[in-house]
Amino acid sequence: MAQLPADKKKSTYYYNMDLVRYILALAVIVAHTNELTGNHIPFFITSFEAVGGFFALSGFLMYPNYLRHNNFWKYLRQRGRRIIPPYIFIVLLSAIFLVVASTLPAGRYFTSSGFWEYLGANLSFLNWLHPDLPGVFRGSRYVAAAVNGSLWTMKIEWCLYFSVPLFILLLRYLKRISNLTLTAVVILFSIGYRVLFTYIYQKTGVELYNILSRQLMGQFSYFYFGMLVYFIKDFFTRNILWMTLGGIALLLLSRLSVFCSIILNPAAITMLVMAISLMPYTLPALHHRNNVSYEMYLFHFPIIQFGIFLGIAQNNVWIEYLYVLSATILLSIAVHTGMEKMLKRRRDLLRFP
């Protein structure tokens, strides 16, 4: 472990945040592999908590990011350049390549309305409208026919990004309310929303209420807890040990019941991911900006499903995990590197016509 030099401490780039992203991505990969293959490899946080951790990191970063641009379109373009290319890639790759896993012949597959509905829904970030491809991942081997169960969060991510300029406008309009107060109101509203819909779900047993509890309004608490940490960053970093211990304590308490989880988990996860991210020590291996955790998050689900199609999951749990992790990492590095080169070439062409 090496201590960050003074100039790096003042940077808006946090090396340990890359480590956190990899841990969160791994948590989601393990959870989905367990769910889809019937394995039970334990991990210390759930996939839902990991997704909340990603949202908390976004909340911490997006407020200063928007202020730095001070322009709505520049802000969206900057996020779009990072998020959209890998997203489009995996949607198109899945749609075209998975013809080999379909029960339909190629001619019927590519002319099927289901193929085009999948492309239309997923390219517009509405994965829930059409998550499956015609004849793909069907049968008793599969827990679900969904091609990529990770994409449901992307519409929420974009809505959270859109909420930042609205939050800033509201702050300017409500001049007597501080940013801390307004952030706390949003967090309490989000937690209250989740408590309400979870309570209705438990009373009625209607799955729709459970699904609604996890959607946009229920995720504001993680995003705005991350923003709250940004507002008190100096205090947080001065007391980073206590924040870490507090996050662990809250996480343990959140395991007591469903409602304890709803109320305590956003604070617990945010405190832990931000404590690690803001630590003054970092691994030398993290001293680069080629983080592929986002690609890993996007790509792993269809890789797991294709492994089931190939019969890999029937052999050995460790062979399954070796396949999933190696294929996900290699594809992520290849795509990230290729797209970085394409974007650099485009910038160079624009700079030197």
Which pLDDT score is estimated for 289?
A: 67
The span from the CA of 221 to the CA of 40, in Å, is 29
How many Å is the Cα radius of gyration of the chain? Answer: 21
Q: Which long-range contacts (CB under 8 A, 24 or more apart) does 195-203 make?
A: 195/259, 195/262, 195/263, 198/258, 198/259, 198/262, 202/258
Q: Residue 11: which residues within 8 A CB-CB, separation 6 or more?
A: none
Model confidence pLDDT, tens digit, residues 114-170: 999 999 999 999 998 999 999 999 999 999 999 999 999 999 999 999 999 999 999
pTM of the model: 0.90
Low-confidence spans in the chain with pLDDT less than 50: 2-10, 349-353
Which pLDDT score is estimated for 340?
A: 72
DSSP 141: T
Q: Which residue has the tokens 């949003």?
A: 186
- Structural domains in the chain (count): 1
Which pLDDT score is estimated for 138?
A: 93
Which pLDDT score is estimated for 345?
A: 62
C-alpha to C-alpha distances, 283 to 60, 275, 280, nearest whole angstrom: 22, 15, 11
Model confidence pLDDT, tens digit, residues 215-225: 989 999 999 99
Which pLDDT score is estimated for 176?
A: 83
**Crossing angle for the helix pair 258-277 and 240-254, nearest 10 degrees?**
160
Which pLDDT score is estimated for 285?
A: 66
Length of the chain: 353
State the CB neighbour count (10 A cutoff) for residue 106: 10
Q: Is residue 329 classed exposed, middle or buried when 0-12, 13-18 and 19+ CB atoms within 10 A define those classes?
A: middle
Which pLDDT score is estimated for 196?
A: 97
Q: Phi/psi zone of residue 257: left (φ > 0), alpha (ψ -120 to 50 degrees), beta?
A: beta
**Residue ranges making up the domain that contains 276:** 2-351
Which pLDDT score is estimated for 38?
A: 87
The span from the CA of 197 to the CA of 219, in Å, is 13
Which pLDDT score is estimated for 314?
A: 74
